[in-house]
Structure 1
Amino acid sequence: MLNNKVAIIFTGGTISMKIDPRINAAIPALSSEEIMAMVTNIEKFTNIEIINFSNLPSPHITPEIMMDLSSLVKKTVDRHDITGVVITHGTDTLEETAYLLDLTIDSKKPIVVVGAMRNSSELGYDGSSNLSAAICTAISKNAQNKGVLVVMNNEVNSAAEVTKTNTLSLNTFKSPELGPLGIVDNDEVIFYRDILQKQYINTETIETKVALVKCGPGIGSDIFDFYINNGYKGIVIEALGRGNVPPTMVKGIKKAIDENIPVVMVSRCPTGRVLDTYGYEGGGKHLKNLNVIFANNIPGQKARIKLMLILSITNNINTIKNYFKN
């Protein structure tokens, strides 16, 4: 008799979609039971408990919904009869949800987020194979104490490191800086390395009024006036290169900081950290002197999620800086 149980929380996404012939486009259609029926022989490995959370495309997932999901995952993973938790999710915002779960849940049990790049009407539907790999990961003792994991295309990545890199490819989820933690091979999880560190933000709420601004040549400060006037509590900038902005943006950045709105900076480059290398107007050194917060090497979408969580518990600039050092 099997002595483990995996809870699978279904939230929607391409993994639960098929083509509607009336509009010739993919829509949410499959039930959780229909999806599980395609995961053959899984009963030989573990007992399954299905939890229906939602059936939403991932662009419909909001930060508030992510927090509701986090609360459900916490309650589920705390149960003595649960070995691990798998969450199905659409891939467009999968990395944000996985990262939020990673930051807000403190558990040694495996928590795995999974999705699909092809809907069930397409040849080569990858939903069932991805889900089976995720379940194999969730029952592995080797997957304990590794934070939230993302399993796609038989690769295991840390939620803190992974990002969606391609609009179509089955291997779209990658960790550009360090590579995957491991693989799923012949129903066995093999880890090549451990996570670097695990950060925990103890909060049950989230501050949603956090903006994300992408930097480009000649962009000015008007957008900062909009966010300041509309009560935004934080701003994340995807800066150029090593962490620099056009001089036309500096006025807006300074105004936001003077209004006690924390401004966090990442690079728009796919890899590499931001640093105060350049001393010209709008350069990293100038921005650091203005009290811009450097977010190391995470992408803008993750920095925004992190700042949302931090602002739910503090707006102290030094405390926020300490969170972003890790």
Structure 2
Amino acid sequence: MRSKNFSRLLLSAVVIGHCSLLSPSAFTAEIPTYSPPPAMPANAATLPRIVLVSMGGTIASRGEPRTNITNYGGGVRVEPIDWVNEMPEVATVARVTVDDQRAPQNRASGQETHEDLHRVSQRLNELANDPNVDGMVVTHGTNTQSEVAFYMNLTVKTDKPIVFVGSQRPWSAMSGDGPRNLFDAIRVAATKEAWGKGVLHCTNNLITPARDLDKTSAYRTHTFKGVDVGAIGVADPDRIVFQRDVIRRHTTGSEFAGKSYPTVPAVEIFYGYREAPGYFIDAAVEHGVKGIVIDGVGAGGATTSQQAAVKRAQEKGVVVVMTARTYGGRVQDTPRRREAKMVPGDNLHPEKARILLQLALTQSTDLAEVTRIFNEY
């Protein structure tokens, strides 16, 4: 009898518990509620003044359907003001104005010319000198974003924050990374702690100096990393946190900053691999290049054929820089490399070494002087 009573009590408890789970109150937390637009802060008139500069890119593209994250664009693009209108949250952290600096014909990031970089560098210098501007955010395609940001890091003279940002998915994509990346980049540019750190980059919540930045994946949203040294800070939901400072010369400490470079000496990159021939180098020299970057094997090595071509190039005054295709670790200053008269490229990737060599050659072709520049930047 006791066993039957106990079974009835247990069954009642199960039924009551089941009913309580199905009660309206149980569903309340699962029903999405209306969220009003973010309230303007009381101190809105004193918020930092940030200029949002558009250089295009995936973040400025739309695609249909929303699941399309690789085949987008085709002239359907996001205007700079659209970012502000579609993200009212930015008004809670900064007073944002827009500046459209997209290349003519909306050229993709991989098709930009030095003329495009020079034009935007001049514009950023103008904005930096404007007392009504507290910081800048630059959107750019991820394909060449790291090298473009590095160029601005060397040529724009300011302590004000300049933050590059982009996305791996179009603005319209399901679970697109663009809106959050852009919002965080504006937050970084509006942060007083970002002053004096040179050109920065912010995606996937990570803040990385332009010099150390590299794209490591074709489509993944975690693509940007500082391979050797990592990020220097994070854009966490509660606040922007910097863990360390930037050591290399940049912006106000750069001897190239604030100047005009409508043209730069021609520099080409050659890849190191087994049996890599030297005739490509010979052809480049015949076409008038003034500098060469060899992305060498291992810790920075060239093939026998490339070495012979390098000697012929050096006899004609061409400066040669050696980087490493490992994308991690420094190319060091060794007796053998000094004897070969090759400038160690440190841990710069070849595309960045090319930019630095172009700027260095506007000042000097002396190997000791070029080596100093690569050691300091």
Per the shorter chain, which TM-score range?
over 0.9
TM-superposed deviation, 1:234: 0.6
Q: CA offset at residue 243 of structure 1?
A: 1.8
Name the stretch that deviates more: 49-58 or 140-149. Answer: 49-58
Secondary structure of 2:318's counterpart equals coil
SS at match of 1:18: coil
* Matches of 1:271 and 1:82, distance apart in 2: 37
* Partner Cα separation in structure 1 for residue 242 and residue 189 of structure 2: 13
Root-mean-square deviation (Å) = 1.7
- In the alignment, is residue 8 of structure 1 matched against residue 55 of structure 2? no
Note the alpha carbon deviations across 1:29-71, whole angstroms, 9 max, x for none: 1111222222232112211111011144211222221111111
Q: How much does 1:169 deviate?
A: 1.3
Residue 38 of structure 1 pairs with residue 86 of structure 2: yes
For 1:42 and 1:264, the matched residues in 2 are separated by 43
Mean Cα deviation higher: 78-87 or 57-66: 57-66
What TM-score, normalized by structure 2, do the two folds share? 0.81
- Write out aligned runs for 1:104-143 (5 A): 104-143=155-194
Match of 1:26 in 2: 73
Contact 1:13 1:91 in 2 (8 A): yes
Shift, 1:131, TM fit:
0.7
- 8 Å Cα contact 1:63-1:208 kept in structure 2: no
1:300 counterpart = 2:344: no
* Secondary structure at 1:82 match in 2: coil
Q: CA deviation at 1:270?
A: 1.3
Amino acid at match of 2:73: A
Q: Distance in 1 between matches of 2:45 and 2:208?
A: 27
Report the Cα distance in structure 2 between the residues aligned to 1:260 and 1:119, rounded to whole angstroms.
46
State the match for 1:248 in structure 2: 305
The structure where helix makes up a greater share of residues is 2
Q: Does 1:166 align with 2:217?
A: yes
In the other structure, the counterpart of 1:282 is none
Q: Confirm whether residue 204 of structure 1 aligns to residue 260 of structure 2.
A: yes
Partner SS, residue 107 of structure 1: coil
1:322 — aligned with what?
Answer: 372
SS in 1 for 2:314: helix
- SS at the partner of 2:45? coil
Q: Is the 8 A contact 2:282 2:309 kept in 1?
A: yes
* Residue from 140, 143, 154 that aligns with 2:205: 154
1:96 and 1:302 in contact (8 A); partners too:
yes
Q: Distance in 2 between matches of 1:295 and 1:239?
A: 11
Measured in 2, the distance between the counterparts of 1:108 and 1:182 equals 18
Counterparts of residues 47-126 of structure 1 (less than 5 Å): 47-54=95-102, 55-126=106-177
Distance 1:57 1:302 in 2: 19
Q: Is contact 2:52–2:80 with CA below 8 Å preserved after alignment? A: no
> Higher mean Cα deviation, 147-156 or 54-63?
54-63
Is the aligned partner of 1:267 residue 2:324?
A: yes
Tell me the matched-pair count. 318
Query: Which residue among 312, 330, 341 is the counterpart of 1:291?
Result: 341
2:234 aligned with 1:188, yes or no? no
Q: Which runs of 4+ in 1 moved over 6 A?
A: none
Cα deviation, residue 179, structure 1: 1.0
Equivalent residues of 1:2, 1:46 under 8 A apart:
no
Instruction: Give how far 1:126 is off.
Output: 1.4
Alignment partners' CA distance in 2, 1:292 and 1:36: 48
Shift of the 258–187 alpha-carbon distance from structure 1 to 2, 3 Å rule, reads farther
TM-score, with normalisation over the residues of structure 1? 0.93
Task: State the distance in 2 between where 1:128 and 1:77 align.
Answer: 25
Which residue number corresponds to residue 363 of structure 2?
Answer: 313
CA contact (8 A) 2:294 2:302 kept: no
Gaps of 5+ in 2: 1-43, 66-70
Q: Which has the higher strand share?
A: 1
- Structure 1 letter corresponding to 2:255: I
Note the C-alpha offset of 1:288. Answer: 2.4
Q: Which runs of 5+ in 1 are unaligned?
A: 278-284
SS in 2 for 1:296: coil
